[in-house]
Amino acid sequence: MSKSLTFFLFLILNFGALALGSLLMGSSPIENEWYIQLNKAPWTPPGWAFGIAWTTIMLLFTIYLTIHEKEKLKDKRFITLFTLQFLSNVLWNPVFFYFHWIFLGMIIILILFISLILILHYFESSNWKLLLLLPYLVWLIIAFSLNAYSWWMN
């Protein structure tokens, strides 16, 4: 498979996970009465920052996956961890926004974080490639802190 085809395949998968999660969450955060009333952390970024962050994260993750496509797509551990990451991205939105299960949302974020750490642990040998996943990991730490604050304060 060519690198450009691989890139577009991963791009569709990664943004597809985000889109599916958004569809399953019910109303958007700006229309969601429960979320509007939720006691949010003082460091909660403005709404527009989430779109920029996730777009950047998924583009970098797509590049990371494209670079490693040949060696990793044959490894069952990688496929399992990628699937876990994919499902976690899909599930978090409805769990948090639709069902209002904040604690379960925190667990999903932890699963997502651990799946990325394991991907790095099992498959990464180059430090510069780690930089492609660093924004994802940092964003998940921020997301976990936002969830934890809402869980603790509500």
Q: What is the pLDDT of residues 106-133, one digit of tens each?
A: 999 999 999 999 988 877 666 777 889 9
pLDDT the model gives residue 140: 97
Q: Taking the CB of residue 145, how many other CB atoms lie within 10 A of it?
A: 15
Per the structure block, which two tokens stand in for 56?
């950047």
Q: Please tell me the predicted confidence (pLDDT) of residue 42.
A: 97
Instruction: Specify the pLDDT at position 78.
Output: 86
Task: Please list the ranges in the chain whose pLDDT falls under 70.
Answer: 1, 70-73, 124-126
pTM of structure: 0.89
pLDDT (0 to 100) of residue 123? 75
3-state DSSP call for residue 24?
Answer: helix
Residues contacting residue 144 through CB under 8 Å, at least 6 positions apart:
106, 109, 110, 113
| Cβ atoms of 112 and 77 closer than 8 Å | no
Nearest CA-CA partner of 112 in 44, 21, 6: 21
Whole-number mean pLDDT of the chain? 89
Instruction: Return the pLDDT at 3.
Output: 82
User: What is the pLDDT at residue 112?
Assistant: 96
pLDDT at 58: 95
- Per-residue pLDDT, 61: 92
Nearest to 144 by CA among 116, 105, 98: 105
| Maximal C-alpha separation, the chain | 50
Q: Quick one: pLDDT at residue 149?
A: 97
Asked if 106 and 149 count as a contact pair (C-beta separation under 8 A), the reply is no
Give backbone dihedrals phi and psi of 12, rounded to 5 degrees, phi first: -65, -45
What's the pLDDT at 71? 66
pLDDT, residue 72, reads: 67
* DSSP per position, 109-134: HHHHHHHHHHHHHHH---HHHHHHHH
